Structure 1
Amino acid sequence: MGMSVLAGSAVMSLTLIWPSVIVFGSYDLADDDDQTIEPQLPDEEPSFQTKLTAYGLTTDSETSYTARLLLVSMIPFLFLQFPNIINSASVTRVLILIALVISLSFFVANIVYQIFQPWIQNRWFDYLRQKYVKNKLLKLLSTNGKANVKLIKELYKELDNNHDGKVTNAELKTLLLGIQVQADGELSQGLVDRIVDQLDVTGDEFIQEDEFVRVLTKWLQDARKSLSKNDYNPLSFFTKPQANADEEQQEALIPKETTNDAQGSVWDYLEALALVLIGIVVAVLIARPLIITIATFATEAHIPQFFIPYFVIPCMISLPRLLSIIASANQKTQRAASLTLSQIYSGMFMSSMSSLSTFLVTVYIKDVPWDVSAQVLVVFVICVVMGIFTSTRTVFPLWTGFVGYLFYPISILMLYLLTAVWGW
């Protein structure tokens, strides 16, 4: 059951969530070469057939790197295919041990690498900044598509509580809370420090007015470049254009003083550890009843047992993530698309290595028979195909998203044939 959930989640990420990034994040690829800030209306709306090739998105080289990491993580899955070829109990046990060592090594190595080279976290900060500049500041600090320098200066004066011509971390935090730069309302000191580093051009640990105006104007210009009236929106029939923010909305940007303090890093770690322990306890308590219930339901409903853990459970798990991914893709920028796809691949790397390691530890220690060759093969095929595709290109036309959707029913058919027809 666990391997079926792993297979279903991995395949769903690459064949439903991955294509959604392309479909909902597509824009006119010609806009990449357009350095003007103001979007231009086309003379006539291009046909859907034209959009399939002329629209799409681009990614950066780091996205290709994460896709290659996913390809590397398929090595232990490859070793688990050999027991079907070599029908020997002793050889199978050795192969399981090799796959276990490799998966555990990859899992630990990735954690250590991210500690010393936290480029994924850095990319996440850049995306967070870009996302909220576009969603919040762009509407409130722009007039006719251009940065409202006067309003930016007024905002700076409001932030400078002691009127010494310098904005401190605490004063900047007031702004960040005011624009809700984090959904949960809490700000870590690390995030504030990162934003200060970008605003503090001179490196004196204070933000001068000219630095504030210059950097914020550049952020607004970068965000404005991502806007295009030629964006492809598959749900455009159901959406309405939003009106520009008025002066009252702009005045509302200047936040009131707040006394909320972020939790210390020690408490953050303790809270995270407590949540992990609670999750483990819940998983232990419901694992066996869940397996029995799924098997009984599948028998009574006359459907293959793999269908529920492969489709239903991953669907419930992935639905909130899919909605979040669509919202991120709607930013329609190379940075947003690159980071979103990177998160999909890096998240799959960690989840597949941790889940596979847990499964192999149980199988090896207890020396129990296992029959998940079909699930392992489906994961291997889909991940290799999609990993190679993403690692070898940085331009994704709109048609690639629709082709990606087709791989999901193909994966279900493949798993059905392997399990129900060919008896894997």
Structure 2
Amino acid sequence: MGMNVLAGSAVLSLTLIWPSVIAFGSYDLAEDDDTILPQITGEEPSFIKKLTAYGVTTDSETSYTARIMLVSMIPFLILQLPKIINVTTVTREIVLLTLILTSAFFIGYAVYQMFQPWIQNRRFDYIRQKFVKNKLLKLLSTNGKANVQLIKDLHKKLDKNHDGKVTHAELKTLVLGIQLQAEGELSDDLVERIIDQFDFSGDKCIQEDEFVRILTKWLQEARRSLSKNDYNPLSFFKKSQEGVDEEQQQPLIPKNKNLNDEGLVWEYLKALALVLFGTLVTALVALPLIMNVSGFATDANIPSFLIPYVIIPCAINIPRLLSTINSASQKTQRAASLTLSQIYSGVFMSNMSSLTTFLLTVYIRDLPWDVSAEVLVVLIICGVMGVFTSTRIVFPLWTGYTGYLLYPISLLMLYLLTAVWGWS
């Protein structure tokens, strides 16, 4: 069941969520290329022309995350060796080798982020952009400029003792109240990093000018992402918005956050405790989950194939799909890059954690098993999408629609391999 869900989730992430970034985040590529003449104002290109003239561009870090995901394909390739060399069963030696390699990748990825936290920083930027886009645009005035007076009024409301200063605790109330992070619990570290952006002087208080300055920058960046030439598959539901051309700004979030050794160790220990707790919960609910899923499929007369490959992955990933569409709709290179990086990082972690748990169980209990069909499909889909993203930074609109076509193709492959040809 775990390997079935793993295959279904990986396929869904790369053939439904990934293409949604291109389809809903597409804009006129001429805006990113000075050698291409932009469309004349008022001229609406045909759908066929949009397939090549519209799309998204990404940065080099997005290609790096795709390459990291490609590394996770090595254990899957090793597991596929018995089919390649025509051996009927997977030997314990291959299981042990794959388990060691998968665990090493999983631990190495975590350690790498400790010393090279650029992936975490991109996660922070991803959340901040969604926060500004969704929560703060109401602070814009009718002419698209930051409403300074409204921002000052907000500062006064936060200033409980009316001394002209907002403490970190008071600002934290605002950040928590507007629910900065759309997915999951808002971490204290993330709150502190947001708060640090306002405190330019470092006096642990936010002056009014500091508050106005940083919010104005964030609003300008969010406003710049809106363009009248943007293409959106749902554009017929809403009116287009005019954009404001402004000069590029430096990143608002620092690349590193210095923590003292004691705080750093405590954060890692807390993270490890959460991982162990999650593993324990998974072990406790695994058997009831399998029994209930099987019973549900039988009572509802649903083909058993659809449960682990479609229904469970969709239930898990639909919120991510909606969040991805919302983020990609900012229609900027930065938004597309951060969103795609999130997808590839998530697939890597899902592949390694699920495969480690599965192989550990199989090796300890010496269980017979054959998931070569799932392994092959994950290899093909992750390999194709990983190589594709790691070798280019421009994704025309047609690549998004092509990605959507891979979803039914991958499900058909799984069905033929498992139900027709009896691989599993």
Shorter chain as normaliser: what TM range?
0.7 to 0.9
Once the two structures are TM-superposed, the CA of residue 241 in structure 1 deviates from its matched residue by: 6.5
The alpha-carbon distance between structure 1 residues 186 and 68, as it changes in their structure 2 partners (threshold 3 A), is closer
Indicate if the aligned counterparts of 2:25 and 2:328 stay in contact, CA closer than 8 A.
yes
Point out where structure 2 has 5 or more consecutive residues left out of the alignment: 243-265
Instruction: After TM superposition, list the pairs within 5 Å mapping 1:130-279 onto structure 2.
Output: 130-177=129-176, 179-183=178-182, 188-239=187-238, 277-279=280-282
Instruction: After TM superposition, list the pairs within 5 Å mapping 1:70-149 onto structure 2.
Output: 70-88=69-87, 92-149=91-148
Q: What amino acid sits opposite 1:68 in the alignment?
A: R
- Deviation digits for residues 260-315 of structure 1 (CA, Å, limit 9, x no counterpart): xxxx9899998887666444322233334545765x579x77x5x53432223222
Aligned match of 1:287: 290
**1-side partners of 2:236 and 2:172: how far apart?**
39
The alpha-carbon distance between structure 1 residues 114 and 33, as it changes in their structure 2 partners (threshold 3 A), is same
Once the two structures are TM-superposed, the CA of residue 116 in structure 1 deviates from its matched residue by: 3.9
Matched length: 395
**1-side partners of 2:66 and 2:8: how far apart?**
19
Aligned match of 2:256: none
The alpha-carbon distance between structure 1 residues 339 and 240, as it changes in their structure 2 partners (threshold 3 A), is same
Indicate if the aligned counterparts of 2:89 and 2:370 stay in contact, CA closer than 8 A.
no
Indicate if the aligned counterparts of 2:226 and 2:241 stay in contact, CA closer than 8 A.
no
Once the two structures are TM-superposed, the CA of residue 187 in structure 1 deviates from its matched residue by: 5.5
The alpha-carbon distance between structure 1 residues 142 and 133, as it changes in their structure 2 partners (threshold 3 A), is farther
Indicate if the aligned counterparts of 1:133 and 1:219 stay in contact, CA closer than 8 A.
yes
- Deviation digits for residues 321-360 of structure 1 (CA, Å, limit 9, x no counterpart): 2222222222223232222211211111111112112222
Once the two structures are TM-superposed, the CA of residue 58 in structure 1 deviates from its matched residue by: 1.9
**2-side partners of 1:91 and 1:192: how far apart?**
48
TM-score for both structures, normalised by structure 2: 0.82
> What secondary structure sits across from 2:41 in the alignment?
coil
Say which is worse superposed, 388-397 or 274-283, in terms of deviation.
Answer: 274-283
Point out where structure 1 has 5 or more consecutive residues left out of the alignment: 35-39, 244-263
Once the two structures are TM-superposed, the CA of residue 120 in structure 1 deviates from its matched residue by: 3.0
Once the two structures are TM-superposed, the CA of residue 237 in structure 1 deviates from its matched residue by: 2.6
**2-side partners of 1:279 and 1:353: how far apart?**
15
**1-side partners of 2:140 and 2:327: how far apart?**
22
In the alignment, structure 1 residue 413 sits paired with structure 2 residue 416: no
Indicate if the aligned counterparts of 2:328 and 2:339 stay in contact, CA closer than 8 A.
yes
The alpha-carbon distance between structure 1 residues 145 and 31, as it changes in their structure 2 partners (threshold 3 A), is farther
The alpha-carbon distance between structure 1 residues 155 and 33, as it changes in their structure 2 partners (threshold 3 A), is farther
Indicate if the aligned counterparts of 1:199 and 1:207 stay in contact, CA closer than 8 A.
yes
Aligned sequence identity (%): 70
Once the two structures are TM-superposed, the CA of residue 177 in structure 1 deviates from its matched residue by: 4.3
Aligned match of 1:321: 320
The alpha-carbon distance between structure 1 residues 75 and 273, as it changes in their structure 2 partners (threshold 3 A), is closer
**1-side partners of 2:73 and 2:108: how far apart?**
15
Q: What amino acid sits opposite 2:28 in the alignment?
A: D
**1-side partners of 2:401 and 2:190: how far apart?**
37
- Deviation digits for residues 363-416 of structure 1 (CA, Å, limit 9, x no counterpart): 223333322111111110110000011111222111110000111122122223
Indicate if the aligned counterparts of 1:200 and 1:211 stay in contact, CA closer than 8 A.
yes
The alpha-carbon distance between structure 1 residues 73 and 32, as it changes in their structure 2 partners (threshold 3 A), is same
Aligned match of 1:256: none
TM-score for both structures, normalised by structure 1: 0.82
The alpha-carbon distance between structure 1 residues 99 and 182, as it changes in their structure 2 partners (threshold 3 A), is closer
- Deviation digits for residues 38-95 of structure 1 (CA, Å, limit 9, x no counterpart): xx99322221112112211222222211111110000000011111133457973322
Q: What amino acid sits opposite 1:370 in the alignment?
A: W
**2-side partners of 1:81 and 1:126: how far apart?**
38
In the alignment, structure 1 residue 22 sits paired with structure 2 residue 25: no
Q: What amino acid sits opposite 1:282 in the alignment?
A: V
Indicate if the aligned counterparts of 1:141 and 1:152 stay in contact, CA closer than 8 A.
no
**1-side partners of 2:67 and 2:184: how far apart?**
35
Q: What amino acid sits opposite 1:31 in the alignment?
A: E
Aligned match of 2:345: 346
Indicate if the aligned counterparts of 2:227 and 2:241 stay in contact, CA closer than 8 A.
no
Say which is worse superposed, 117-126 or 341-350, in terms of deviation.
Answer: 117-126
The alpha-carbon distance between structure 1 residues 155 and 309, as it changes in their structure 2 partners (threshold 3 A), is closer
CA RMSD of aligned residues (A): 3.3
Once the two structures are TM-superposed, the CA of residue 158 in structure 1 deviates from its matched residue by: 3.7
**1-side partners of 2:154 and 2:273: how far apart?**
37
